[in-house]
Amino acid sequence: MSLQDDTIARLLGRRLGPGNGIADPQIIGSWRRCLEQYRLDPEGAHPRPRLSAGELNQLREPFDALLGEPGPALTQLRRAALEAGYHLLLTDAQGVVVASYQAADSSPELARKGMAPGSVWTEALVGTNGLGTCLATGQPITVYAGEHFDAGLYPFSCSTAPLFAGDGSLLGAIDISTYAQGSKARQQLALGLVQQTADELEAQLFRRHHADRLLVAVSNQPLVAATGPAPALLALDELGKVRGLTTCLLRLLSFGQRQSLLGQSVDDMLGVAFERLLAASRLQPCRLGLLNWFAWPETGAPAPGARARQPLVADGPLERAAGEDPGLLRQATICRRMVDRGISILVQGETGTGKEVWARALHDTSARRHQPFITLNCAAIPESLIESELFGYGAGSFTGALKGGKVGKIAASSGGTLFLDEIGDMPLALQSRLLRVLAEQEVTPIGQIEPVRVELNVICATHRELSELVESGQFREDLYYRISALKVLLPPLRQRQDKAGLIDRLLQSLAPAHHPGLSPAALSRLAEYPWPGNIRQLKSVLQYGLAMADEAPILPEHLPDELHHGIDQPADVSTPVPSRLAAQQQWQERELLQQVLEQHRWIITQAARALGISRATLHRKINKHRLLSPNKGGA
């Protein structure tokens, strides 16, 4: 062991503490570069420079395709990271943060550590860190606690994966960071999540870059061909020569350098004749000759010099929310034209039709997509608390108030979007205050005199008919017209024309690693059921079916009892009214229980008190509706 290795081992051992091994060669290699190549002091401070807004805007241009209309991969990672308390960063190849997302209640210490847009995280400046070391090596990595070269980063854990452009060049990196707790092994799930997202984003860019090539997908699971796009891709020309391949394919098949494979024939590379590959399809992939792997063309064989046609419908957040239903696609087109024009939007539909999903798609389509999306369910919060939740309060405003006061939902959403679900349940007194805030764009927290300026954009939703509430005096007429310049009516699931596609997309989201599929009989039963609980009920049924099938295809016997009892009832107006009302009331009760339990973090005592029922009654209702605690516990 050289003197330099002794130094690295001693310094790392001091940081990591007794009993923690120093076996990660990536960390040791990074520390060696910091000491020998960059001449950094492990005991010194390493400030992170920050670029100006003008410089940052220029660097963001290559990311416009990803950030302008974030696809499902980045959106899912962002939601998962924020829900788990992580800070999500996206950098360019030089380590400059081009996008930063953090939960509204996360610690400001993360931002102070240089995680704001424009901050620079190269290894040469900061030393060993997730972003800088990932970009230096081109490999995914987790840098945990004392493995950071800068002692100021000791409290954090950073899991990072490289992001490659469609031509195979290094575009940047994706990182999720949080406080280091427990052991480094607990961060393997986080690292796998960012790696999966990086693969899917690269595949998205790869498809655009090679739009005039034959794209071939490769997987070790033949069923993947029927469940959506795969990240392991190969681009071929009209002669079957390799013109590009994704990093995921390089890794899965243990290939060497990308450049050495370009120009090879697909027969030499994959062991399958070009003609046989052309004859394959998503549902009938061909087995590769060299391994027990499968391949299929994603696109038709290109004519020489031909360019791929552009899709007729943009694949944006609204279109993804609409699915393949013609009526919803028309709504998406209208909403796309109205967004960012100061036009208020009211989303209407039965319980469980996806009103919040549509509102979030509106936000993600708008120019405010990088700002907060704040939600408030007016029906799920007691009337005594909704005012403080919405408007906030100053320090010592009332008994039980937080010492430093609380920022309300309105102020928290400033610059972004405030989604008011079940607006029809808002008390009349608060309707007047909300109308004033919408008109004046300022809010006065409870207990304060001076108003606070806000840049407010509100999307409202309800399952009730607001015009009838206006006539009965339960809803202000002026507020009704203020929030409903455009009305978007989401159809109930029983009326949607894309049920099969929607079921497939939900299964893919619920079981991304292994999509077992449905038997024809099970799919038929799902398609015929009247779905009083709409998409929310469908999702619960699919979760139940996946658990019962245990990674096998879902059969009719794997579906809940209510689908077997209700299948003979037609889904139209000829269904007996009492039966339909009973089903609707059951799902409304289930939704209320779910909302209150989540609001109180499944603490049974608090949830029962909020509902005005006993703990025993709440437990019976939880069992009746098959509600599952996210921590498999209870209180």
One-character DSSP codes across 327-350: HHHHHHHHHHHHTTTT--EEEE-S
Residue pLDDT, tens place only, 579-600: 444 555 666 777 778 888 877 7
Question: What is the per-residue pLDDT for 445?
Answer: 86
Residue whose token pair is 């203020």: 482
Q: Of 102-106, 357-361, 567-571, which range is least confident? A: 567-571
Domain at 3-199, CATH class: alpha beta
Sorting pLDDT into bands at 50, 70 and 90, what band is 197? very high
CA–CA separation, 186 vs 495, rounded Å? 44
Q: What angle do CA 407, 413, 418 make, to 5 degrees?
A: 120
What is the CA 346 to chain-centroid distance, rounded? 24
Tell whether the model's pLDDT for residue 301 goes beyond 50: no
Q: CATH topology for 493-566?
A: Helicase, Ruva Protein; domain 3 (1.10.8)
Sorting pLDDT into bands at 50, 70 and 90, what band is 112? low
Sorting pLDDT into bands at 50, 70 and 90, what band is 630? low
Q: What angle do CA 343, 349, 352 make, to 5 degrees?
A: 125
CA–CA separation, 333 vs 19, rounded Å? 59
Sorting pLDDT into bands at 50, 70 and 90, what band is 108? low
Query: For residue 424, what is the DSSP state?
Result: G
Across 522-536, b (16+ Cβ under 10 Å) vs e yields bbebbebbbbbbbbb
CA–CA separation, 513 vs 522, rounded Å? 21
Residue pLDDT, tens place only, 406-424: 888 998 898 899 999 999 9
pTM higher than the cut 0.85: no
Tell whether the model's pLDDT for residue 1 goes beyond 50: no
What is the CA 326 to chain-centroid distance, rounded? 25
The mean predicted confidence, pLDDT, of the chain is: 81
The domain segmentation of the chain, as residue ranges, is 3-199, 210-297, 318-489, 493-566, 577-624
Burial of 256 (0-12, 13-18, 19+ CB in 10 A): exposed
Question: What is the per-residue pLDDT for 575?
Answer: 39
Sorting pLDDT into bands at 50, 70 and 90, what band is 228? low
CA–CA separation, 80 vs 543, rounded Å? 18
Question: What is the per-residue pLDDT for 19?
Answer: 57
Residue pLDDT, tens place only, 177-189: 888 887 788 788 8
Of 396, 418, 392, give the one whose Cα is nearest residue 406: 392
Give the count of beta carbons closer than 10 Å to the beta carbon of residue 615.
14
Residue whose token pair is 């409304």: 588
Question: What is the per-residue pLDDT for 359?
Answer: 95
Of 552, 565, 566, give the one whose Cα is nearest residue 518: 552
Tell whether the model's pLDDT for residue 305 goes beyond 60: no
DSSP E strands, 108-241: 141-144, 156-164, 170-179, 214-219, 233-236
Q: CATH topology for 318-489?
A: Rossmann fold (3.40.50)
Tell whether the model's pLDDT for residue 578 goes beyond 60: no
Residue pLDDT, tens place only, 425-437: 999 988 998 999 9
Percent of the chain with pLDDT over 70: 84
Sorting pLDDT into bands at 50, 70 and 90, what band is 172? very high
Over range 241-260, report the average pLDDT.
86
CA–CA separation, 265 vs 272, rounded Å? 10
Question: What is the per-residue pLDDT for 295?
Answer: 84
Residue pLDDT, tens place only, 477-511: 999 999 998 999 999 998 888 888 888 888 888 88
Over range 72-77, report the average pLDDT.
80
Domain 3-199 and domain 318-489, same fold? Reply is no
What is the identity of the amino acid at 16?
A: L
Q: Tokens for 537, please give them.
A: 């009920």
Phi first, then psi: what are they for 389, rounded to 5°? -65, -40
**Rounded alpha-carbon distances, angstroms, from residue 139 to 31, 85, 173:** 16, 24, 10
Q: CB neighbours of 570 closer than 8 A, spacing ≥ 6?
A: 530
Residue pLDDT, tens place only, 530-561: 898 899 999 999 988 888 888 788 899 999 88
Give the count of beta carbons closer than 10 Å to the beta carbon of residue 32.
16
Q: Are 424 and 462 in contact (CB under 8 A)?
A: yes
Tell whether the model's pLDDT for residue 201 goes beyond 80: yes
Over range 48-56, report the average pLDDT.
80
CA–CA separation, 220 vs 595, rounded Å? 40
Sorting pLDDT into bands at 50, 70 and 90, what band is 457? very high
Max mean pLDDT among 279-283, 333-337, 536-540, 608-612 falls in 536-540
Sorting pLDDT into bands at 50, 70 and 90, what band is 56? confident
